[in-house]
A and B are shown apart, each in its own frame.
Chain A
Amino acid sequence: MDCRQAAKRARVHVRTCAILAWMHELSIAYNLVEIVDAAARNAGAARVNVVHLRLGAMAGVVEDALQFSFPIAATGTLAEGAALVIEPVAVQVYCDRCAAPQTLAPPFVFRCPVCGQPVVRLLQGRELQIEAIEIEESAAEKEADVHATAHP
């Protein structure tokens, strides 16, 4: 989605959108909402209440910027008004010398924090993954369920 479309959908001025586009978190948020909206629609949901996201410390995504962008991207979709719950994922590498996984702290120097050996294998920390969504089923779905239960 380009800036103009995004601005139209979120009902904000194009200039605001041009500024936002500089944060790739907005573009990430659109990708996120697209997946969530489609999944909710397929499940016959009326709306999405919560989106659970796993976010690696080295995913290159700023949590605050993503939280800021999410409602803009969600406008006019089933995810409008949903809460975005972010589970942070630490950067973990495998140290061959220690033969064990180790956790790195920022700025993520790729050396084993225990023995100092350079490490190449990244086990986790680049995640940007939708884990689950909490949805409310639509009244029609609900009725169909009741109907199905009443007449098995």
Chain B
Amino acid sequence: MQPRILEIRQAVLDKNDRLARELRHRFEHAGVLVVNLVSSPGAGKTALLEETLRRLRARTWRAAAIVGDLATENDARRLARSGAPVRQIETGGLCHLEADLVARQLEGWNLADFDFLFIENVGNLVCPSDYDLGEAARAVLLSVTEGEDKPLKYPPMFHSADIVLLTKLDLAAAVEFDHDAALANVQAIAPHATIFETSARTGAGIDAWIDDLVRRHASQVARPGGGADAGA
């Protein structure tokens, strides 16, 4: 039998990309700024988010969160203490969130009721980098306890960051964190990213990151037509 060559020219994650574009469009129309939080396990996503939600709400912003967790509901419970609406995606072994998992969690929510929506991804510096969730900004966390060379070890993830947050700065001295080396490594892989140095425990740097989110929200809302597909 004569074999035949069939041209495909299609991205493997095309389905996810298309759904993410639809989500981005919905988010922008509703005026909600969506942030995808990624990091390795234990870098402090939940602690950062808890403090961020609390402070945003204190400034009378309407914020909500979707949290991906492999097996437990612990993170969702912690985040709910801030008073913000929180939904949990139990990934059941999946190492990253996908756009359709996020879309399913949105059912029953009126997105126009929110100014900010945070998606806490599964703790993993590899898999989530390929999956667009329709976010306006991707924030990658790097805790001081992880070592300064993490960005060099995971370039796809760090390069995809719009924002990089150094976390657990209160522990920097104890672990002899080389601050300059860490910043240089982040800038080497993600020269375009905005960097914040934070500690959820002491509150250091959290307001600066929130100010940046508020600015991003304002510029997204100001864009004509909600700025559909920008950054896609």
A129 / chain B contacts, CB cutoff of 8 Å: 9-12
Of listed A31, A34, A36, A53, residue having the most chain B CB within 10 A? A31
Closest partner residue, chain B, to A21 (CB atom): B93
Contact check, A130 vs B92: say whether CB atoms are below 8 A apart. no
Contact check, B95 vs A132: say whether CB atoms are below 8 A apart. no
A122 / chain B contacts, CB cutoff of 8 Å: 159
Q: Does A76 belong to the interface (CB within 8 Å)? A: no
Contact check, B11 vs A118: say whether CB atoms are below 8 A apart. no
Q: Does A107 belong to the interface (CB within 8 Å)? A: yes
B204 / chain A contacts, CB cutoff of 8 Å: none
* Shortest Cβ distance from residue A137 to the other chain B in the assembled complex, whole angstroms: 6
Closest partner residue, chain B, to A58 (CB atom): B156
Q: Does B104 belong to the interface (CB within 8 Å)? A: no
A3 / chain B contacts, CB cutoff of 8 Å: 92-94
Per the bound structure, the CA–CA distance linking A74 and B5 in Å amounts to: 19
Binds A, one of B61-69, B113-121, B187-195, B208-216: B187-195
Q: Does B14 belong to the interface (CB within 8 Å)? A: yes
A18 / chain B contacts, CB cutoff of 8 Å: 93
Is the contact region of chain A dominated by helix, strand, or loop, or is it mixed?
A: mixed
Given the known A-B contacts A58-B156, A133-B5, are A120 and B189 also in contact in the complex, defined by CB atoms under 8 Å? no
1/0 per position for A96-131, CB-CB distance to B under 8 A?
A: 000000000011111100000011101000101111
Q: Does B81 belong to the interface (CB within 8 Å)? A: no
Q: Does B152 belong to the interface (CB within 8 Å)? A: yes
Contact check, A39 vs B159: say whether CB atoms are below 8 A apart. no
Size of B's binding interface in residues, CB under 8 A: 37
A134 / chain B contacts, CB cutoff of 8 Å: 3-6
Contact check, A131 vs B8: say whether CB atoms are below 8 A apart. yes
Q: CB within 8 A of A109: which of B8, B152, B192? A: B152
1/0 per position for B136-177, CB-CB distance to A under 8 A?
A: 000000000000000011011101000000000000000000
B2 / chain A contacts, CB cutoff of 8 Å: 137
A108 / chain B contacts, CB cutoff of 8 Å: 155, 159, 189
Q: Does B127 belong to the interface (CB within 8 Å)? A: yes
1/0 per position for B1-24, CB-CB distance to A under 8 A?
A: 111111111111111100000000
Given the known A-B contacts A120-B192, A135-B4, A137-B1, are A35 and B130 also in contact in the complex, defined by CB atoms under 8 Å? no
Per the bound structure, the CA–CA distance linking A28 and B109 in Å amounts to: 30
Q: Does A95 belong to the interface (CB within 8 Å)? A: no
Contact check, B8 vs A60: say whether CB atoms are below 8 A apart. no
Per the bound structure, the CA–CA distance linking A31 and B18 in Å amounts to: 13
Closest partner residue, chain A, to B131 (CB atom): A24
User: Besides the contacts A58-B159, A110-B190, A131-B7, what 8 more A-B pairs have beta carbons closer than 8 Å?
Assistant: A22-B95, A27-B96, A28-B12, A28-B13, A39-B8, A132-B7, A134-B4, A136-B1
User: Measuring CB to CB, which residues of chain A are less than 8 angstroms from any residue of chain B?
Assistant: 2-3, 18, 21-24, 27-28, 31-32, 34-36, 39-40, 43, 45-46, 49, 53, 58-61, 106-111, 118-120, 122, 126, 128-137, 139, 142
Can you spell out 21 A-B residue pairs with CB atoms less than 8 angstroms apart? A2-B92, A2-B93, A2-B94, A24-B130, A27-B96, A39-B8, A43-B4, A49-B3, A58-B155, A59-B130, A60-B126, A60-B156, A108-B159, A111-B188, A128-B13, A130-B8, A130-B10, A131-B9, A132-B9, A134-B4, A137-B1
